[in-house]
Structure 1
Amino acid sequence: MPKFIYQIYHFSSAIQHRLTKRITISGFAVILCLIFAAALGLDTTQNLTYQIFTFLLSILIIATVCSLLFRFRFSAIRTLPRFATVGVKLKYRIIIHNKTNQKQTNLKLFENFADPRPTWKEFLETPEPEEHKRTPLDIKLGSYRWLWLVSRKQCGTAKTIELPPLQSNSKTEIIGEITPTHRGVMRLVSMTIARPDPFGLFNACHTILLPQSLLILPKLYKLPPIQLPGLKKYQSGGISLASSVGDAEEFRSLREYRPGDSIRKIHWKSWAKVGKPIVKEEQDEFFVRHALILDTFQTEKYSPILEEAISIAASLASEVQTQESLLDLMFVGNEAYCFTFGRGISHTEKMLEILASVGSCRDKYFDSIIPVVLEKISMLSGCICIFISWDEERKKLIQYLNNMDVHTLVLILTNDHDNLNKTELMQYELATFHILNINNIQQELMQI
């Protein structure tokens, strides 16, 4: 891919960004007609086209001067929530303060995102999604790849707002709308208030610096009631474990102090009543604990199948959070991670925040997640595995969980059901398999 093509995209994208705010559709039409008239009216003795050129040029000059004479004095406050979700339109409050002594009408407001243009390295190394039917010209020029990467980095689009009349020296509240398209961090840097000239050709623009960021969470699917496998298990570790993973010791009775009892277990009120040391006798609580293993191992930086896997993980984890259980989210990024949620440890929002930032693991093998699973295996009641492929390494993990008597729900995402041997999947006694086509995720999830 020649670098000069990237530089053309980079430069033209900046020009387009500026012109779309400064010049209206009518303005572009007049400019095109002006160029056409100039080409035809070079010989003024043969036709009168030059008169059209002169007329259009006069209109453009007047429109330009009018747009330059407009004076702005505005300020604004934008109120954003902490999170938004892919595919769910976000409405938020904007308060605009008109600091002029005149009523301002016929205004528009544009939200400005941080520069979403990819770097040369990103453009060179990141292929567009495989579902796009690429033509030889697409492959050579990378036009679709550029547009896809810009959309991916921007994370969403903002609706242009037609502002109501702004009274002099007053504040007006309006509602903005953002449509998230990709998970990640959406960065807004400013907003632009624009007013067209009397001919509606050019916009006079005033930009208000207002940097803010918004975390876009993964898309969530509707799920049927899911009965997760497994029974309650003893969670060793006592109070020290309770503070870190949400375990608790349940009060059972009072008894006399014995040598070796912890001072922290002394029941001071009872000691005061009977005149001798009394301690609380407790027993560890048993409860359900599941692992949610997210498969992130692929060679591409982005892929639709990984995005769907993350969305399914978020949907399942949100469902589990409504139950009285612990959930260990396990995946591998730059290193192996395990985050525990449930029973008052962390809330759903924290889990979704983590999943919003999950990326593919391109430099490690699947077995790098095994140590994380082994660390928790003795405490697990069951396991949910979300796989983006099915091979020998993943089979070994399921076989190991089966041998350890851990009930497992396995979701395999694929583009083609026929590539999987369904008879082979039936050999695992404690594993339940569901094959999900990424083109029909919602319908197939409802059949689990």
Structure 2
Amino acid sequence: MTGNEWRRAVVLGGSIAGLLASRALSETYDEVVVVDRDELTGLPEPRKGVPQGRHVHGILARGQQILEEYFPGITGQLEESGAVTGDVAGNVRWIMDGVAMSKGDSGLLAVSVSRPTLEAHVRRRVRALPNVEFLDHREVVGLRFAPGARQVTGVRTVERGGSGDASVLPADLVVDALGRGSRVPRWLRHHGWPTVPEERTQVGLTYTTRHYRVGPEPSPGDLSVDIVATPDHPRGAICARIDGGRQIVTAYGILGDVPPTDPEGFLDFLKSLSSPEVYEAMVDREPLDAPVSYRFPASLRRRYERMTRLPAGLLAVGDAVCSFNPTYGQGMTVAALGSLVLRAHTAGGSLPDPLAYFRDLAHEAVDEAWRQALSNDLGFPGVEGDRTPEILADQEYIGRILEAAQRNGDVAAAYARVIGLVDPPEALRTPEVRAALGAG
């Protein structure tokens, strides 16, 4: 590494956030070590460390762009593995309160693929990097600090399931990609650092998933049908074509409404949605497995950017910073955006300033996605939170956008670009869009 004294970065967690962080760090560090408690094979199989991996996943349009930038040709490789692609506004059927949005041409690519297959392809590309090493079957049990605890200088790990003593893995930089369950904030408190502020939005979400053999219905030519939960119809489902000749159906309810895991109850839940399309398509379709559920109690944001001091040598990305209501599909894309911030802050070769990094992470990767998710969540009367005038105004305006999108494909495409985190929210207030709302 020319003119750079920093040699090794250690990434805690080998999921999508950790893999993309490793890709970013590989441009600067001599050695990048990815530590994970699972066995990180190249096979597209669900992992114990990703219990939500069996359910529907979406990478938003901006996330797909970043993947292609990091790993040229990966979209084509995913298609060769069976992923289904199309325009995010022209080949996705969005249904709200029983009414479908108009089709439009967003110019953005949607990639419908199972989480294990996507992760396997990204992991394979990261493994091919000559300065990246994977250390799996290892559990991180603590941080190592320099005297005075002002700088993190490594991590303590134990073999998963083993009874031996912890070993120290030295590092010039440690990146926490351990997800919402990360114990890093606790370890910081133990070493005398202030508590990281947190915000939670209790959504009481449960989603239940079943896979079926692929068929032409519902909505031939579309890669997915998304029946969106709304305050008037607070149940939803996504039916998507994915790799393996399968369709994945994920049904979800909020605030304790649980889609059943028995086959008959699962179909009854689909039948109760605001549109019958998914139920009618699946009622006689051949299932490939039994329904399985996953509970997501609350969206969680750790406000590292509000800290006044943090140790050098420690950063965080992905769900370790912000874990979103998964029905909005934002998590992997925000992790990808965060990896770009990480790349920028490590590009100079010197040890990054953690306070500056977390401020930029909030501004460039998290704030807009969190604003969208919070506004949507607080649209449901049972979700507790501060409905500020700004949120109420946003909800009213987005309601008008969605109503116009039912009859105007250009508005639908503009909306898809904003929620895909490609265009800023101001793109929904152009004279053309406002004219379509009757507010020009």
Q: TM-score range by the shorter chain?
A: under 0.3
Structure number, greater radius of gyration: 1
Task: Tell me: higher relative CO, structure 1 or 2? Use CA pairs within 8 A at least 6 residues apart.
Answer: 2
TM-score for both structures, normalised by structure 2 = 0.25
Question: Larger strand proportion, structure 1 or 2?
Answer: 1
